[in-house]
DNA sequence: GTGGTCTAGACCACC
DNA sequence: GTGGTCTAGACCACG
């Protein structure tokens, strides 16, 4: 799968990498249970520091998206093991903030829900 | 209005402050056109440095949420002058990512849209 | 003549006022030798502090565009008494900087001179 | 390259620094894609605070002249990525004002265009 | 080692 | 009195 990183973004690279991998899992580009490349090989492919990839993996691991095994390396968790979206209040706060910005921008509830529905479907 | 800041968060304080103020405008706690406290008084209230508040104000100004008038100080913009939520692709990407996380967490489209609708109404 | 001021601009109001008056003289809306309104009346018209108008008048006076007489009030100088554009190095530096920005923006010398020529003619 | 700063000027130091760097890029003293010194080293060289240099860099970044890459630090953008000079109406207004001042100073259109041409070539 | 953030305190331009 | 600017110094996130 293709991972897009923007090195001039204010968002840390390891967070972008984490996001890209979650997107990949959600879109099916990364299958449940699929083996992920090693830290070093992915770092070499992306042209980033190995520590950056390592931090992204650790973040995904701590959130329950992937699992690291000493012997078998790193792999995407099974479908039933994915973390609950509302487990961390962070996500909810982000959603509320986005809804606020949309409402202030003149979007009605229906228009906003249309955007949300599109986002749910989107296979980008 | 009550502004909640988390000094242990990795999110910069001035960004949190910006978010809180946008939320306040959206929820009606801050009225359109309402005068905002001066940089120094708000800084004193929150127990942060004046420059931190100043950065938040400048950010909000650059995004079109508030306006600082040489004569009258800083005030919330009028309802019709609020920025368009989708003008920066950042928001859309965040929404897509949240939708992905929800889907992976087992939420159906309907359940996710329910959450979005609640967020729009602000049932936090 | 109509003086346009932008109170949310970063440019100080008294500088904007000075610029507007110079523009007025250049465009003929203010005739050479014409009497200017008093500080107080202009301040009232524009809705600004009298001190702001006073500073603008002082600036114009120091630069040689207008002349203040105790008895006759303030008036535009005669045509032959206007200050030399290159007398202060500030103007030249600004022009060079604008030329640089234009060149970097991809404008050829001819295109830039076209803009300069238009600016010279412009009766806005 | 030599950066000239006037600490007695009313123009903020970080704006002067921004202007000097744009001039440097325009004159070729700073090559397209060239690496810029770090915030701290430049601050030390100039005898100013690091935050002042940081603000200048951020300003240049927001205007599209330079780009700060998480991995490689700060560098001048490529030739084709320079911002369009006329995208902000500010520049045009400045040019019109300069033209007015020149006209009032007795410069004919031809004389003014000669000055503009010299400025384009940088015969400072 | 790099830039980003924050503080405390000071000065100044502007209104 | 207001915001904008600047300083010196500290800490932290990032790579």
Q: pLDDT tens, B76-93?
A: 999 999 999 888 888 889
Low-confidence ranges of chain D (pLDDT < 50): 124
How confident is the model over B2-26, as pLDDT tens digits? 899 999 998 999 999 999 999 999 9
How confident is the model over A37-79, as pLDDT tens digits? 999 999 999 999 999 999 999 999 999 999 998 888 999 999 9
Q: How far from the centroid of its chain's Cα atoms is residue D93's Cα?
A: 17
Q: Give the per-residue pLDDT at B1.
A: 84
To probe the interface with A, which of D70, D72, D74, D76 has the most A CB atoms within 10 Å?
D70
Which nucleotide is closest, CA of D61 to its C1'? E3
Q: Give the per-residue pLDDT at D123.
A: 54
Distance (Å, whole) CA D68 – CA B68? 29
Nearest CA in chain B to C10: B70
Residues 6+ apart with CB under 8 A from C43: C49, C50, C52, C53
Task: Read off the tokens for C115.
Answer: 């803009």
**Residue range C3-27: mean pLDDT, rounded:** 93
- For residue B101, pLDDT over 90 is answered with yes
- For residue A20, pLDDT over 90 is answered with yes
Going by C-alpha positions, the residue among A85, A87, A21 that lies closest to residue A59 is: A21
Inter-chain CB proximity A91 and B101 less than 8 Å: yes
Distance from CA of C77 to the nearest CA of B (A): 30
Question: B49 beta carbon < 7 A from strand E?
Answer: yes
**Residue range C35-58: mean pLDDT, rounded:** 94
3-class state of residue B78 by DSSP: coil
To probe the interface with C, which of B70, B75, B76 has the most C CB atoms within 10 Å?
B70
The distance (Å) linking the CA of D36 with the C1' of F14 is 19
**Residue range C33-54: mean pLDDT, rounded:** 94
Residue B87 carries which DSSP code? Answer: S
User: Contacts of residue B94 in chain A, CB cutoff 8 Å?
Assistant: 94, 98
pTM: 0.91
User: Contacts of residue A7 in chain D, CB cutoff 8 Å?
Assistant: 69-71
List bases, strand F, within 7 Å of protein CB: 1-10, 13-15
How confident is the model over C62-111, as pLDDT tens digits? 999 999 988 889 999 999 999 998 887 888 899 999 999 999 999 999 99
Residue C70 carries which DSSP code? Answer: T
Q: Are strands B66-69 and B73-76 parallel, antiparallel or unpaired?
A: antiparallel
The distance (Å) linking the CA of B43 with the C1' of E9 is 14
What are the phi and psi torsion angles at B76 (to 5°)? -65, 140
Residue C81 carries which DSSP code? Answer: G
Inter-chain CB proximity D120 and C102 less than 8 Å: yes
Nearest protein residue to nucleotide E2 (CA to C1' distance) is D73
Residue B79 carries which DSSP code? Answer: G
**Residue range B35-45: mean pLDDT, rounded:** 94
Q: Which long-range contacts (CB under 8 A, 24 or more apart) does B36-40 make?
A: B36/B66, B36/B73, B36/B74, B36/B75, B36/B76, B38/B73, B38/B74, B39/B74
Share the mean pLDDT of chain C: 92
The distance (Å) linking the CA of D102 with the C1' of E14 is 28
3-class state of residue D95 by DSSP: helix
Question: B60 beta carbon < 7 A from strand F?
Answer: no
- For residue B105, pLDDT over 60 is answered with yes
Residues 6+ apart with CB under 8 A from C91: C85, D98, D101
The distance (Å) linking the CA of A10 with the C1' of F13 is 12
What DSSP letter does each residue of A22-91 carry, written as one string?
Answer: HHHHHHTSS-TTPBPPPHHHHHHHHTS-HHHHHHHHHHHHHHTSEEEETTTEEEEPPGGGPPPTTSSHHH
- For residue B41, pLDDT over 80 is answered with yes
User: Contacts of residue A9 in chain D, CB cutoff 8 Å?
Assistant: 70
Q: Give the per-residue pLDDT at B123.
A: 54
Q: Give the per-residue pLDDT at A103.
A: 94
Distance from CA of B99 to the nearest CA of A (A): 5
Nearest protein residue to nucleotide F7 (CA to C1' distance) is D49
Percentage of the residues of chain A whose pLDDT score is greater than 70: 98
Name residues 37-76 of chain C with a Cβ under 7 Å from nucleic strand E: 48-49, 51-52, 55
Q: Which long-range contacts (CB under 8 A, 24 or more apart) does B39-42 make?
A: B39/B74
Distances in Å between the alpha carbon of B86 and those of A103, A115, B78, C39?
11, 10, 19, 46
Residue B25 carries which DSSP code? Answer: H
Q: Give the per-residue pLDDT at A67.
A: 95
Q: Give the per-residue pLDDT at A10.
A: 87
Q: Do the chains C and A touch each other, judged by at least 3 C-beta pairs below 8 angstroms?
A: no
- For residue C124, pLDDT over 50 is answered with no
Distances in Å between the alpha carbon of B39 and those of B47, B57, B73, C13, C33?
12, 8, 10, 21, 45
Which nucleotide is closest, CA of B70 to its C1'? E15
Q: End-to-end CA distance of chain C: give it in Å, rounded.
A: 12
Least confident of A109-118, B87-96, C51-60: B87-96
Distance (Å, whole) CA D39 – CA D72? 13
């Amino acid at each position: 799968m293709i991972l897009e990183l923007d090195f001039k973004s204010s968002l840390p690279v390891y967070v972008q990498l984490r996001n890209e991998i979650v997107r990949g899992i959600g879109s099916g580009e990364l299958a449940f249970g699929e083996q992920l490349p090693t830290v070093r090989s992915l770092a070499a492919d992306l042209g980033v520091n190995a520590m950056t990839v390592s931090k992204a993996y650790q973040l995904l691991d701590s959130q329950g998206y992937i699992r690291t095994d000493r012997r078998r390396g790193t792999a995407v968790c099974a479908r039933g093991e994915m973390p609950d979206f509302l487990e961390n209040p962070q996500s909810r706060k982000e959603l509320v903030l986005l809804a606020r910005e949309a409402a202030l921008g003149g979007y009605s509830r229906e228009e906003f829900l249309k955007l949300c529905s599109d986002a749910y479907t989107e296979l980008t």
